[in-house]
Each structure stands twice: as structure tokens, then as C-alpha cells.
Amino acid sequence: MKKIAISIGDLNGIGIQLALENHETIKKIIEPLYCIDKKMLQQASELLDIPIPSDFKTVKKIAKKFSIEPAKVTKESGVYSFASFLKAVELSKMQEVDGIMTLPIHKKAWELAGVNFKGHTDALRELFFAPAIMMLGSPKMYVALYTEHIPLNQVHEEVKNVKKLSEFLIDFYENIKDTLKEDETIGLLGLNPHAGDDGVLGDEEIQINEARGIAHKALGKEAYTSPLVPDVAFTPNARKNHRYFVAMYHDQGLAPLKALYFDEGINISLNLPIIRTSVDHGTAFDIAYKNVELNNLSYLNALNYFVTT
């Protein structure tokens, strides 16, 4: 059974409720180590009126104790959630755990805490000195993002960077090749409407095709499709042919993914020396500490991923 460090996320949100409520289920598939100290755990338990399981393993020290403020964006919660994440990374680097699972953080809280990263994936790139790849989805469909949290007006310049895009395509294939069926290809999305219509609606597909060719030469096989028309790439017929897709920008890939598989989707960081998964939802401040029954499918899938890989 794999030992997984679970960073606790923003304690003003729903992450700690997910951890407490689902402990009995997840301990049957992985050995969890929760990156929270006993004092903060006790405070959350009392606010939620959820007892702490006797075998709920925690760590000794994370950060300065603070008062949980349900549904509030605070510097203190940002400091603690980042420290919890760093603890999980430290445990993985020391090979004391087999992987990391992260509960949701609030990006503004990180900013208030003076954290310069926009999220977990950005941080992992620097902490491991590796070009982490963000992939989201479920076993039915996964989407990798070539660009992530950048303004839309900057995307086309990134797409025109053929060297960077070709390296991304090579790295992504190498990370998922063992899960591909024989002759299964990866759906590569174009950037423009109608995939450019032969240059009538934009010419970025020229660079996408060039990067694709470089990747295929390096890989020694045709791993990717020609640039697909984005507005039909995720239709039922198209999805019969592909389980994996590469999107050029955030919403191009995640809007259809979340429309189809929001409840069960997870976030996976590839191209790192460790495996990191996360739920594919936020802190849900609107329901935090309100005794609302939580949908746990994303949480369970994020931990099940360690069993299936």
C-alpha cells in the first residue's frame, strides 16, 4: 500500500472536511499522512463537529496556529496551506512518502501570505527544477494544458514558440505512453476557429504542425493528430477516437472537460520525479463549515490514481 502525503489546503475551505469524512474509505487504498498539526486539526474538528479518527496520522509542526475563519480569505490561512504543501514536498524529497495529494488552496490567500506562485503546479516546477505538465480529467478523458494561467493575449506567442511546444509534446507523450493502447493517438488541438481554415483565420496551426513534426521525429512515431478544430474536438464521435488531448490554453481544454466530467475530474502533475494529484475543484467557501454533504468523487479519484499507476 502506497504512503501518500496529503497537504491540507486552505483550512477556511472544505478540504479538511473531505479529509475527515473520507478517512475510513481512503485508508483502505492508500496510507495517508495528513500535513496538519494536532492543534489545527482539533480546531477544525470542533468547528465541523466531526470526530477525529484514532488512526488519523498527522505531522508535528506546520506553521503558526491561527483561528479558522470559515469562508474567509486570510493571510494566515494562506501561510498555513503553503506550509502544508511544502511539508508534503519535503516528505516526498526525503522519500518518506510515495506521492503527494493536494487539497484546494485559495490563490488570493497565497498572495496575501507573500507566496509568489499562482498555484501548486507553478511551485512544483521550481521546487523540483522540472517542467511540470498540468493534466486534468478522469479515465474517460484527460486534457493536458500547453499554457495554463496566462492572459489570453499572450497565448499565441507561446504557441509560436516551436521549440517549447515540441518539447512539451515529447515530454507529455513520454509521461503517458504506458497508458496508451496500441495505435492510440493523442488529440492535438488547433488554436484558431476552424483550426485556422488554411490560414484564413490565423496561422498558428503552422507552428503547431511544425512542433508536431519535430516531436514525431524525436519519438519515432506518429503520436499526435494534426491540429483538430477545437469546437468539434470533444464531440461524442471525436471522443471515441481519443482519450488524451492537448489544449493550447486553459479554457479551451477545461471548459469542455468540466462540462462533461466536473464531479469526477482530478488534476495531475506530470513530468516530475514524484506523482502529485489534486481534486479538480476549489475551496468552496459557499458551503464550508455549513454541515453540507460534500461530493467526494474527485477526492477519491485523486487518491485512487496512485493505485492505478
Report the binding-site residues: 120-121, 149, 194, 250, 258, 267, 276
Distance CA 85, CA 105 (A): 10
267 DSSP β-pair partners: 136, 278
Rounded to whole angstroms, the maximal C-alpha distance in the chain is 64
For residue 59, what are the CA distances in angstroms to 34, 40, 91, 95, 250?
7, 11, 10, 16, 35
Cross-sheet strand order for the sheet of 187-188: 31-35, 3-7, 99-102, 276-279, 266-270, 133-138, 141-145, 244-247, 187-188
Give the residue numbers of the binding site for substrate.
120-121, 258, 267, 276
DSSP 3-state of 195: helix
Give the residue numbers of the binding site for a divalent metal cation.
149, 194, 250
Sheet strands (E) in 186-243: 187-188
Question: Is-contact 46 112, C-beta < 8 A?
Answer: no
For residue 238, what are the CA distances in angstroms to 231, 234, 258, 300?
11, 6, 17, 28
